[in-house]
Amino acid sequence: MKEHQDTSNVLSPASDKAKIKLVIILAVPAVIENFFQTAVGFVDIYFVSKISLAAVSAVGVTNAILAIYFALFMAIGVAANVRIANFLGANLPEKARHIAQQSILLAVLFGIFTGLLTLIFAEPLLKLMGIENDVLEIGALYFRIVGIPSIFMSLMFVMSAILRGAGDTKSPMYVSIIINIVHAFLDYVFIYGLLFIPEMGIVGVAFATVFSRMLGSILLLFYINRSKALSFRRDYWKPDKSHLLELTTLGAPAAGERLVMRAGQIVYFGFIVALGTNAFAAHQIASNVEVFSYMIGYGFATAATILVGQQIGAKKFDEAKRYAMLTVYLGFGTMAIFGAILFFLGDWAGSFFTGDKLVINDISIALRISGIFQPFLAVLLILTGVFQGANNTKFPMYLTAIGMWAVRTILVYFLAIKLELGLAGVWIAIGIDIVFRAIVLVVQFLRGKWMALDKAPESEAHCHPQTTKENMSACANNY
């Protein structure tokens, strides 16, 4: 792994060809990392599907609750990623190092909080999903095992984001590959037993996940500490109110966006549960296949956040906009290809998980519909990353709230329940919401309403250090 160097100079090639190459260099490891992170859930669902469809539903419902935890952890990661990129772009490496360590402290606090929440409220949280009693029992068991040690989830999200903020997308990729190999092996061993290890079923799936996250946390700590840009300083572990407030303030809208989305999901998941256990199992399996496309989008979004964030920190606003556009073009094309794969291979993907023909048919329908909307999903995910890299985390939150509650949830109920379109109605509603939000973000971007300049750090170049909020727009070429 190459150590991070003066990013404000390294990440500023002159030609579009060089910029595209840089986007790909940053995006591909992030895509691979996301792919292997997602493979954890994919492998779990594969092994769990061999136990029973009720077990699939239990893991799916539990993961929907855990996604709320992920929202909090990812929000800290977004804030850390953006501020580290900003500070390095502004040639303020010690501030980047300091805020990295402060974000780890924040991750520990949130991890402890969500662990205690799981310990005390596992059953009530799962009951909110309206699941059947047989699913609730095994779901609560799985939930407690993976949710109580939430600190490892939190650390993995945040420390990966720290490395990416410094332009290092390879180290998180290496960690994802390693822990997924370990995870797949442990899944098999703990579920079916080996030598002196007994068969543990769904409990084994949970333990495999926890042990993998523990290993991932240790490896990420190692990579951060060996980085010249981010290696730990003992005096930076002392809680700093200003940096903790800065992270919380910037991350709060990102958390709000995720929480609004998850809250909406809980509501429309209830509608899917009402369609029956088989329908929910089909939805869960289709989601675990389709989520690989999200990993492509998030990979390009990661590159956009890094590049835009560092150019904003360096006050190179034209460069930031150009990187944003190039990344959207690349992501759009890539996910259009993946959409075609989803559309034509839906039947095969369904048969990989179950032999139930009705469930396979539902999975195929869901993936065909999803395939159509993949290019729009690329625009949505990448432009969200662009807005975040420009310190504008509020607008995506507001947009997600509108899309989730005024578009998606209402349409899921109307199409799936009222018009009796079943699972097809659910996925059509999801697609319409994606298109709506993607169009709004494009319009905002083209109008120049995507940067929160008053939150960007001051650098030594391009703008005078005493540039005020009022004259910042002039420095930014009137964006």
- The sign of the CA dihedral 32, 33, 38, 39 is positive
| Tokens describing residue 175 | 């960690």
Residues of the chain with pLDDT below 50 are: 1-10, 459-479
**What percentage of the chain's residues is helix, strand, coil (to nearest 5)?**
80, 0, 20
User: Cβ(176)–Cβ(49) under 8 Å?
Assistant: no
Cβ atoms of 371 and 339 closer than 8 Å: yes
Measured from the Cβ of residue 72, the count of other Cβ atoms closer than 10 Å reads 24
Q: Which H or E run includes 369? A: helix 357-389
- According to DSSP, the residues that pair with 197 across neighbouring strands are 194
| CA-closest candidate to residue 216, choices 181, 255, 188, 168 | 181
Residue found by looking up tokens 């991070």 in the block: 4
Closest by CA position to 85, among listed 237, 321, 309, 383: 309
Rounded Cα distance, 130 and 133, in Å: 9
Determine the Cα–Cα distance for residues 369 and 57; give it in Å rounded to an integer. Answer: 22
Q: In 10 A of CB 445, how many CB atoms?
A: 20
AA identity, residue 172: P
**Angle 346-349-354 from CA coordinates, rounded to 5°:** 120
What does the alpha-carbon distance between residue 151 and residue 112 come to, in Å, rounded to a whole number? Answer: 6
d(CA 322, CA 383): 12
Query: Which tokens go with 24?
Result: 């790909």
Task: Tally the C-alpha atoms within 13 A of residue 174's C-alpha that lie toward its C-beta.
Answer: 14
**Integer Rg of the chain from CA:** 22
The DSSP code sequence of 243-277 is HHHHHHHHHHHHHHHHHHHHHHHHHHHHHHHHT-H
Q: Structure pTM?
A: 0.76
Q: Which pLDDT tens digit goes with each residue over 160-204?
A: 999 988 888 899 999 989 988 898 888 888 877 777 777 777 788
Contacts of 375 (CB under 8 A, 6+ apart): 332, 335, 336, 339
**For residues 172 and 164, is the Cβ–Cβ distance under 8 A?**
yes
Report the C-alpha gap between 48 and 52 in whole angstroms: 7
Burial class (CB in 10 A: 0-12, 13-18, 19+), 360: buried
pLDDT, residue 13, reads 66
Q: What is the pLDDT of residue 267?
A: 78
Instruction: Check: CB of residue 221 under 8 Å from CB of residue 163.
Output: no
Residue 134 carries which side chain, given as an amino acid letter?
D
CA terminus-to-terminus distance, the chain: 37
d(CA 56, CA 47): 9
Is residue 383 a contact partner of residue 441, using CB atoms and an 8 Å limit? yes
Q: How many CA atoms lie within 13 A of 73 on its CB side?
A: 24
Nearest alpha-carbon partner for 279 in 368, 370, 372, 354: 354
> Is the torsion defined by CA of 372, 373, 374, 378 positive or negative?
positive
Residue 330: its H or E element: helix 317-344
- Rounded to whole angstroms, the Cα distance separating 431 from 425 reads 10
Helices (H), 166-240: 170-192, 202-226
Beta strands in 98-182 (DSSP E): none
Question: What pairs with residue 194 in β-bridges?
Answer: 197
Q: Which residue has the tokens 């002159």?
A: 14
CA dist 219 and 126 (Å) reads 32
pLDDT at position 477 is 34
